[in-house]
Amino acid sequence: MSTFDGMLTAVVFLPLVGAILLLALARTDRRVRLTALAVVVADFVLAALVFIRYDADGGSRFQLLDRFEWISTEVFTAQYQLGVDGISAPLVLLTGLLGLCAVLASWSIKMRVKEYFVWLLVLQTAVMGVFVSLDFLLFFLFWELELIPMYFLISIWGSGRKEYSAMKFLVFTFLGSAFMLVSILALFLADGGAQLDMIGWAESGADLARTVIPISVVFWFFFVAFAVKLPLLPVHTWLPDAHTDAPTAVSMMLAGVLLKMGGYGLLRITVGMFPDMTVDHALILTVLAVVTILYAAVVTLRQTDLKRLIAYSSVSHMGLVVLGIGAVGVMGGTYNKLGLTGAAMQLFTHGTITGLLFLCVGVLYERTHTRYIPDLGGLAQRMPFLAVAFVIGGLASLGLPGLSGFVSEILVFLGAFKAFPWLTALGAFGIVIAAGYILWMLQRALFGPARERFAHVGPSNLMERIPMALLVISIVVVGVFPSLLTDVFDAGLGPITAVLGG
Amino acid sequence: MTGHDVYLLSPEISLVGLALLVMGLDLVVRRKGLLTLVAVAGLALPLALSIVLWVDVSSEADGRLVGVMGALSIDKFALFFKFLIVGVMGLLLAASVDYTRRMPGLRGEFIGLILLSATGMMLLAAATELITLYVALELSALPMIALTTFRMTSRSGEAGLKFLVLSGVSSALLLYGMVVVYGVTGTTYLAEIGAALATPMDASIPFGSIALLVGVILIVAGFGFKISAAPFHMWAPDVYQGGPTPVVAFLSVASKAAGFAILMRVFYTAFPSVDLDWSMLFAVLAVVSMTLGNLMAMVQSNIKRLLAYSTVAHAGYMLVGLAAVASRIDGDGIAAGPGSLLFYLGAYAVTNLTAFFVVMVVANKLETREIDDYSGLSRRSPFLAFALAFALVSLIGIPPTGLFIGKIFLFTSAVQSGLAWLAIAGVVNSVISAYYYLRIVRLMYMGEPSDGKKLGVSVAFGLALAVSAVSVLALGVAPRLITWITDGAARVLMG
């Protein structure tokens, strides 16, 4: 039975079509930039429409479906199946928003401009595809497709040990997805299962599926793939390298949406399809989360490179996602729902906050040519707009009430506290440390006496201010009206928590 | 030979006719470019005849037309390989037009010999009798050996000699194996061998008897040479490095496909009763081959040697498809193995051709086969660099490419047959292979060219390269383009 709404297909493939147009038509660098901008603006509008059209109150679990038979041999069938639910709809919006900001943040790219924007647009198609695919093969295809543009973006336009970092990123992710592939194939061949149909598995659950390899292996193989992407300790080591050496816009995409693929996978597949096993292993997840939060937070304190600092803080903050998921360890009641909603919220809020922070660092670096914190200082007078945005991003990151970061963190801790009070209390120290490293960083980088060597530094320009403003607005709006998102996430997580008895 | 036999053999006969025509024209025509044109256009005839046969076969009750005293079976399986080989040849001849320009006086022979070798491969895929099979095998191998020496350099001569000797040894092993099998069963017909072995003689010994075990191992060794699977791959790096690039390309694609065709035919028809034994044999060979191929490829500095080890690794992935014989295990449903393998062979053909085409031009224009000289290729020619990069991405198995889908199919079939460990080995090997394939991509896009020389390509070459590269993409996004053929072909094996 095929059905075709078309909207999600458009959201996913518009950037790809744009990339092909760029290759074929755009001659001058200026025209390349403008075309890319037009494409991402259109894609952002489409993403916003998807978010608006998703009906959280009524309607079916998965909406806006595009489905037809894609591969059909005697032994292998796969669907082209796209759809959104409450978990993916906000992430589509996030991807649209960050894609737009990334193109704006790339305005100053001078080298091999056309290639750069082509890869950036291909990347956006891949990430969008991951969030809306509801067939395992298609999901895996987009998951892998994202590797190639990232590899090129880091290793050509990056800095420092860029080729090493790009290869490290690729090998880690590729190895993680190798595990995932085995799990997918095992589910596909499970007796009487839903084959590759993710909707089918989401509805029936895979906890008791009879697969050729033990189902717990399937569960953990999936988990490894998502843990690498998220990343969790001890498979996080690719992230600081990749972030530090990537160009600004790519760091934004990496922290803003690519890490969210891992969190999304945990929600959609680990919790969504293996709810009972997640509950059984909730303690392990929580311990991993707490270790990640604390270790990364302590390491962050010691960083002297601005980008590396934010990269490590990302690791710590993504640990919160797993902490929220670990909250399903408390059976019944509304608390596990709080944890899951917090985890999902954290995906969105961390995306915008870290996107903003990386953007600020990029703009700063553009002018000062250093990211070494002791060399910086006194820049707030020279770049007031940037300083305001940077401070808002920083405060949101440490969880100031009224900004978006607070909402997700409080939800995660409320849920997790009920499940594992002592561990959660320990994890909460991560927030204390976060306040330390964020404020200390802001103070050293932006404030203090004006420095002679930065006398030539001018204020940020319009092309830098637009994405900063967009991200700041989203942070404030979500902070003040969190229900805009929590209602949607709740609707998406409802069927999962219903299984858990929430 | 009856009229019906002539009809069944018409694609092969027309191919031989075409070979003779091209060699004859070579004597009288002055503009040698015409030879390529005639050869490529002439391929339409065997293609058309194969399509006629496909239609005819489809209407048969048992899906096959048997001829030449039962020694040949024209079925969808054989016809799939006819399509594949004709397609590969068409692309290859068009792409090598610049290359052959540099061998004055030999162009007719070059094209003619390739056509003759292809005839042997087509026959091979249809053979259902051991003697016929052997003759077809030799017909496909001997022209390739001659072609290997066509560069007229000492390295090329050395490669040809090595190829000749090792090919002879492998043929001897194969013949000996066939003799033993004949001794045990008293027949050379595959189907009759299968019937004779229907009940295993002694379940405690693999293959039922020591004699048969020896025979089968000798046969596998003989074919292992053909498909360049480890540990029978020793010839590949030297021949690949020394031989003319178009010949090597043909060897790596068509010859390998024909080798797998006959492996599948022999084992599914003659030894179905002992499938668990040979399944394990191929599973072990698969792991050895992919691991060894990938590890050796990492340390190569010559691109043709690297591609040689890469084909060894890919022979390993393909053997996964042979090892996966699920149907016999659970009794219902059909095995995913053969269908997946056939798809993989098709996708591998276009992928490897794409890679070799670029290598061909670079070898021709820049006079280099060193990987380091690919530095900055994207600056010399964005088209060539992109095509090669895309082919390499496909060889790793990253979407959206044909080999991504091919690997999914293969690994699915492995898990389905209860060989999950084999799938894991395959996946891990894919990750390892990313390292050395991406090294080339990195050089092409991030390295600086050593000089400002640009690379232009002829129209015929550009067209052939574009067609093969687009096919790689097409198989990656719309596998249905050929799964309806491979499905039909695979069903033939399942009886």
Smallest CA-to-CA distance from A68 within A82, A56, A55 is with: A82
H/E stretch holding B448: none
Residue that the structure tokens 């490419």 belong to: B401
Q: What is the C-alpha to C-alpha distance for residues A406 and A353, in angstroms, rounded to an integer?
A: 11
Kindly write down the DSSP assignment for every residue of A453-495, as one continuous string.
Answer: GGTTPPPP-HHHHHHHHHHHHHHHHHHH-THHHHHHHHHHHHH
Could you list the pLDDT tens digit for every one of the 495 residues in chain B?
688 888 889 999 999 999 999 999 988 888 888 888 899 999 999 999 999 999 998 888 787 888 878 888 899 999 999 999 999 999 999 998 888 887 777 888 889 999 999 999 999 999 999 999 999 999 999 999 999 988 778 888 888 899 999 999 999 999 999 999 998 888 999 988 888 887 767 666 777 788 888 888 899 999 998 888 888 888 889 899 888 889 999 999 999 999 999 999 998 888 887 777 788 889 999 999 999 999 999 898 899 999 999 999 999 999 998 888 754 444 444 567 888 899 999 999 999 999 999 998 888 888 878 888 888 888 888 889 999 999 999 999 888 899 999 998 898 888 888 788 888 899 889 988 988 998 899 889 888 888 878 888 888 899 999 999 999 999 988 888 888 888 888 888 876
DSSP strand pairing (A77-84 vs B64-67): unpaired
Interface test with B, best of A181, A195, A218 (most B CBs within 10 A): A181
Chain-centre distance for alpha carbon B37:
24
What's the pLDDT score for residue A418? 81
User: What's the whole-number mean pLDDT along residues A217-240?
Assistant: 90
Please say whether the dihedral angle defined by the alpha carbons of residues A263, A269, A272 and A276, taken in this order, is positive or negative: negative
* Closest-approach residue (CA) in chain A for B479: A71
Q: Do B412 and A188 touch (CB under 8 A)?
A: yes
Contact A185 B411 (CB under 8 A): yes
Confidence of residue A90 (pLDDT cuts 50, 70, 90): very high
pLDDT band at A187 (very low <50, low <70, confident <90, very high): confident
Measured in angstroms, the CA of B337 and the nearest CA of chain A are apart by 9
Per CB-CB distance under 8 Å, the chain A contacts of B446 are 155-156, 163
| pLDDT for the residue A333 | 55
**In the block, residue with structure tokens 């509950």:** A279
Q: How far is A139 from chain B (nearest CA, A)?
A: 11
Full residue range of the structural domain in which residue B84 is found: 3-493
Which chain B residues have a beta carbon less than 8 Å from that of A174? 430-431, 434
Q: Cα angle at A225 between A221 and A226, to 5 degrees?
A: 115
* 3-class state of residue B151 by DSSP: helix
Neighbours of A448 (CB within 10 A): 13
CA of A69: which chain B residue's CA is closest?
Answer: B480
Say whether A212 and B487 touch across the interface (CB within 8 A). Answer: no
Instruction: Report how many domains make up chain B.
Output: 1
Q: Judging by beta carbons within 10 Å of its beta carbon (0-12, 13-18, 19+), is residue A472 exposed, middle or buried?
A: buried
pLDDT of B330 = 47
Residue with tokens 């094209």, as numbered in its chain:
B111
- All residues of chain A having their beta carbon less than 8 Å from the beta carbon of residue B424 are 178, 182
The answer to whether the beta carbons of residues B68 and B4 sit under 8 Å apart is no
Query: Tell me, what's the pLDDT at A335?
Result: 58
Q: What is the pLDDT of residue A493?
A: 85
Q: How far is A210 from A100, CA to CA, in rounded Å?
A: 44
Choose among B405, B424, B491: nearest Cβ to A182: B424
State the greatest distance between any 2 C-alpha atoms of chain B, in Å, as a whole number: 70
Chain B residue numbers with beta carbons less than 8 Å from the beta carbon of A212 are 415-416, 418, 420
pLDDT in tens, A332-357: 555 568 888 899 999 999 999 999 99
Q: Note whether ipTM > 0.90 here.
A: no
Sheet holding A3-4, edge to edge: A3-4, A63-72, A77-84
Confidence at residue B327, expressed as pLDDT on a 0 to 100 scale: 47
Radius of gyration of chain B from Cα atoms? 22
Contacts of A175 in chain B (CB under 8 A): 428, 431
Which of B420, B438, B486 is the closest to A212 by Cβ? B420
Give me the DSSP letters along A70-106. Answer: EEE-SS-EEEEEEEE-TTHHHHHHHHHHHHHHHHHHT
Residue A182 confidence (pLDDT):
87
Find the helix or strand (DSSP H, E) in which A282 lies: helix A282-301
For residues B430 and B407, is the Cβ–Cβ distance under 8 A?
yes
Enter the tokens of residue B143.
């022209």
Closest CA of chain B from A107, distance in Å = 22
Count contacts between A and B (CB, < 8 Å): 99
Query: Which chain B positions have a beta carbon within 8 Å of A142's beta carbon?
Result: 399
> Is A198's pLDDT higher than 90?
no
Residue of A nearest to B445 (CA): A156
Minimum CA–CA partner of A212 in chain B: B418
| Both tokens assigned to B400 | 């959206």
pLDDT in tens, A441-476: 888 888 878 777 777 877 888 888 899 999 999 999
Sign, CA dihedral B114-B120-B123-B124, equals negative
Q: Which residue of A has its CA nearest to B334?
A: A75
For residues A15 and A146, give the distance between their C-alpha atoms in angstroms, rounded to a whole number: 13
Closest-CA distance, B399 to chain A, in angstroms, reads: 6
Is residue B262 within 8 A of residue B223, CB to CB? The reply is yes
Q: Return the domain boundaries, chain A.
A: 3-500
DSSP A371-438: -BGGG----TTT-HHHHHHHHHHHHHHTT-TTSHHHHHHHHHHHHHHHH-HHHHHHHHHHHHHHHHHH
Note whether B415 and A185 are within 8 A (CB).
yes
Residue B456: how many other CB atoms lie within 10 Å: 12
Q: Is A57 on the interface with B (CB under 8 A)?
A: no
Of B336, B413, B431, the CB nearest to A174: B431
Predicted local confidence at residue A261, as pLDDT: 93
Compute the CA torsion angle A412, A349, A12, A176 (nearest 10 deg).
-50
Give the C-alpha separation, A197 to A192, whole Å: 12
- Whether residue A441 contacts residue A377, with contact meaning beta carbons closer than 8 Å, is answered with no
pLDDT at position B157 is 87
Kindly state the tokens that stand for B379. Answer: 């600056």
Considering only CA atoms, which of A370, A434, A371, A360 is closest in space to residue A393?
A: A360
Burial (CB count within 10 angstroms: exposed 0-12, middle 13-18, buried 19+), residue B234: middle
Best B445, B475, B482, B486 member to test A by mutation, with max A CBs in 10 Å, is B445
Per-residue pLDDT, A331 = 58
Residues of B within an 8 Å Cβ radius of A: 333-336, 339-340, 343, 393, 398-400, 404-405, 408-409, 411-413, 415-416, 418, 420, 423-424, 427-428, 430-431, 434-435, 438, 442, 445-446, 479-480, 483, 486-487, 490-491
Asked if residue B463 lies in contact with residue B387, where contact means CB atoms within 8 angstroms, the answer is no
Contact predicate A245/A307, CB 8 Å: no
Q: Give residue B133's Cα distance to chain centre.
A: 16
- If one counts every other C-beta atom within 10 angstroms of the C-beta of residue B150, the result is 20
Tell me the torsion sign for CA atoms A82, A56, A50, A469.
Answer: negative
Q: Among candidates A373, A120, A365, A344, which has minimal Cα distance to A254? A: A120
**Contact between chains at A185 and B409 (C-beta distance less than 8 A):** no
**A42 CA: distance to closest CA in chain B (Å):** 25
CA distance B375 to chain A (A): 14
* Cβ-count burial A390-411 (b if 16+ within 10 Å, e if not): bbbbbbbbbbbeebbbbbbbbb
A11 Cβ neighbours under 8 A, 6+ residues apart: A43, A46, A47, A50, A92, A96, A128, A132
In A, residues 105-124, which contact B (CB 8 Å cutoff)?
Answer: none
Number of Cβ within 10 Å of residue B473's Cβ equals 15
Contacts of B259 (CB under 8 A, 6+ apart): B223, B226, B227
What residues of chain B lie within 8 A of the CB of A151, using their CB? 438
Residue A307 structure tokens: 């980008």
Closest CA to B402 of B333, B361, B349, B443: B349
CB atoms near residue B59 (< 10 Å): 7
Pairing assessment for the beta strands A77-84 and A3-4 based on DSSP bridges = unpaired
Give Rg (Cα) of chain A. 21
Which amino acid is located at A25 in the chain?
L
Block residue for tokens 């909207």: A7
Torsion, Cα A84 A90 A92 A95, to 10 degrees, reads -160
Q: Report the residue from B399, B415, B490 with minimal CB separation from A212.
A: B415
Query: Lowest-confidence range among A102-116, A184-198, A253-267, B42-56?
Result: A184-198
Contact with chain B for residue A74, Cβ under 8 A: yes
Give the per-residue pLDDT at B145: 92
Residue B73 pairs in a beta bridge with B66
**CA pair distance B6, A26, nearest whole angstrom:** 57
- CB contact under 8 Å between A145 and B399, yes or no, is yes
Percent over 70 (pLDDT), chain A: 98
Nearest residue, CB atoms, B393 vs list A148, A163, A167: A148
Yes or no, beta carbons of B393 and A174 under 8 Å apart: no
Torsion region of B298: left, alpha or beta (phi above 0 gives left; psi -120 to 50 gives alpha): alpha
Residue type, B309: Y
